[in-house]
Chains A and B, each alone.
Chain A
Amino acid sequence: MARVMVVEDDPDIALLIAHKLRSAGHEVAVVGDGAAAIVAIRSSHPDLIILDWMLPGLNGIEIATAVRADDDLQGTPILMLTAKAQDADVERGFAAGADDYLQKPFSPRELVARVERLLARRRP
């Protein structure tokens, strides 16, 4: 079981992701605001972060950059889940520190599979 932080401002999507991850045996926390997400990530040190791009407060790119700049968090896997689908957006997401990138609309089953892969890669 891993602790996953879902940073998503659409409550329907957040609920769905949380449900699917909990069904897969993970502990899930949901935050809907960029600024609050940074505080929550720093205080709870999740095993993985699922990050939307467009958020109130700080956006996903700014959060990813802040996580990568933090010595205690820089190894935390980040999966970006966003409607931004241009090649340049994907490049920007990876450049900011995302480990994986999934576009909306998305398959929750694929999302869970990618989360498992990222978590497995992280384990020694």
Chain B
Amino acid sequence: MNLVHGPFAAWVLTLSLAATAALAVVVLAARGETARRRRRAAVDIAKAWPLVLAITDGAFVAPPADPRVARALGLRVALLAHQLRGDDRENVAAWLTRNGYREVAEAQMRSRRAAVRARGLELYLASVGSEPPERAVDLLSDRDARVRVAAVRAIGASGSTAHIPELIHAVSSRRRPVPPGAVLMAVVNAAPRSADVLRPGFQSADSRAVLLTIEAAHRLGLADAALDVQRVASRAAVRSDVALSARRALEAFGREDLLRALAQADPRRPGAPGVSGEA
């Protein structure tokens, strides 16, 4: 019992104070280091920014000799690329490609780690500019679902319409499908000006792919898809949600003639006026 007030207590108290002091020193040192790194990063970014602006203007900019500033420059340029269109985007993409960032991105896209593959995809996309992002298509069948969705989003955000058929096809994959909603958003973002690139979607045997294709044509106002939409709605085994979506699209396109033709062909078809419910 005397231990509570004896030399042992003093020893425990001393030990506690020493441990607390040591912990405080460690915490303060860690905070100091974090603050120092932040300040250093801010200085690196400040040095890189004039170069970033020069790159967007299309000026020749050699990578800085200081590796930290060079890293800050590459990161800023890659991040900014996703916010840009037009000449500035092309200038940024050309600089990234010229300075080896595309090779880095393609190597990252082959990584075993999903997070690295996704990061590589973003960098790859920054470096391709308005070129069709060929290599991103490979990741539509990636073993990781998050990488597949990242690839869908990236292809849509690239503004390239060349790979819309592959995007729509990816919905129908048995082993590695992508969500139809993500593909719909990507197609809308890619914003094709004609229904030509959507044709494979209308011809798909998968109702999910057909449905998202109709929705995309509708949202994009692609009236040249009207006949494809009507053909889909005329199929004998059309699903009710597909038929309803087709009808809404034809209404939006102002194609009363095609709507009438549909109703005359089969007045009891789902989506026809006065007919609702499940197939």
Do A and B bind? yes
- In the assembled complex, which residues on chain A have CB atoms less than 8 Å from the CB atom of B83? 10, 12-13, 16, 104-106
Residues of B within 8 A of A23 (CB): 57
Q: Write the nearest CB–CB distance from B243 to chain A, whole angstroms.
A: 25
Q: Is the CB of B53 within 8 A of A110?
A: no
In angstroms, Cα B79 to Cα A19, docked, is 17
Give Cα distance in the complex from A23 to B58, angstroms: 14
Chain B, residues 80-93, CB within 8 Å of chain A (1/0): the string is: 10111111110000
User: CB within 8 Å of B: which residues of A?
Assistant: 10, 12-13, 15-16, 19, 23, 104-110
Does B76 make an interface contact (CB < 8 A)?
Answer: yes
**A/B interface sample: 9 pairs, CB < 8 A:** A12-B80, A13-B83, A16-B53, A16-B80, A23-B57, A106-B85, A107-B85, A108-B86, A110-B86
Q: How far is the CA of A16 from the CA of B80 in the complex (A)?
A: 9
Q: How many A-B residue pairs have CB under 8 A?
A: 41
Interface assignment of B253: CB less than 8 Å from any CB of chain A: no
Which residue numbers of B lie inside 8 Å of A, CB to CB?
49, 52-53, 56-57, 76, 79-80, 82-89, 157
**How near does chain A come to B85, taking the closest CB pair, in angstroms?**
4
Are A105 and B89 in contact, CB atoms less than 8 angstroms apart? yes
A4 to B87, CA, bound (A): 23
Q: How far is the CA of A108 from the CA of B55 in the complex (A)?
A: 13
Q: How far is the CB of B132 from chain A (nearest CB, A)?
A: 17
**Whose C-beta in chain A lies nearest to the C-beta of B54?**
A19
Most chain B CB within a 10 A radius of its CB, from A13, A16, A105, A109: A105
The reply to whether A107 and B84 contact each other, CB–CB distance below 8 Å, is yes
Which A residue sits closest to B50, measured CB to CB?
A19
Task: Tell me if A107 and B80 are in contact (CB < 8 A).
Answer: no
In the complex, residue of chain B having the shortest beta-carbon distance to the beta carbon of A85 = B189
